[in-house]
Amino acid sequence: MIRSGRLEDLDKIMEMVSETIKIMKEEKNDQWTELYPTRQIFETDVQNGSLYVLEEEGQVLGSITIDRNTPNEYNNDSIIWRKVSEAYTLHRLVVDPIIRGKGIASRLINHAETIAQQNEVPYIKTDTYSLNTKAQALFEKNGYKKVGEMAFHGKERPFYCYDKILHSAE
C-alpha cells in the first residue's frame, strides 16, 4: 500500500537514507551525503503533504516526494524540457537496500505519476547525479527521457535531467 508519509515514518526513512549513502560511497557516488537529504527536509515534505511511503505488513519499504516545486537550476539553456507547462517534480526516492530489485521504486514512481494525472498535470520532471547509473536506468526503464544536464548542489559532475509526458485519461 502506498500512503501519505507521516512523521513517525521518518526514523525508518532516515535509516534507509543512511544505508543508501553507505552504498553510494562504495560505488564512488556522492549524490547523497550526511548533509543531504536531512531529516528536516523529510519533515517539511510530510508537513507539505508531498511525501509518500510504500508500506507492507506495517513496514515502510520506500518513499518518494512529489510536488510542484521546480528547482531554479531547471531553468537552464542546456536542458530541453519537452513541454513548457506546469509540472510535478520527483525528489528523494529511496528504497530499503535490503529489498532493492523488487519493483518498489517503480511502484513509487507510478504512484507519483497517478497523483500528477489526478491533479491534471500530466508532466513530470526529475534529475539524478551523473554518477548514479542505477537511478538513470530506473528512470529510463519507467519511460523517462534524458533532456539535458545541469550543475547542482555544488557537485563537481553534472546532474542529468529527465522528463515524462503522461498520457491523460481523456
Confidence of residue 153 (pLDDT cuts 50, 70, 90): confident
pLDDT tens-digit readout, 74-90: 998 899 999 999 999 99
Q: How far apart are CA 16 and CA 78, in angstroms?
A: 33
Reported as a single tens digit per residue, the pLDDT across 10-55 is 999 999 999 999 999 999 999 999 999 999 999 999 999 999 999 9
pTM of the model: 0.94
Nearest to 144 by CA among 168, 157, 127: 127
| Beta-carbon count within 10 A of 133 CB | 12
All structural domains of the chain: 2-165 (3.40.630.30)
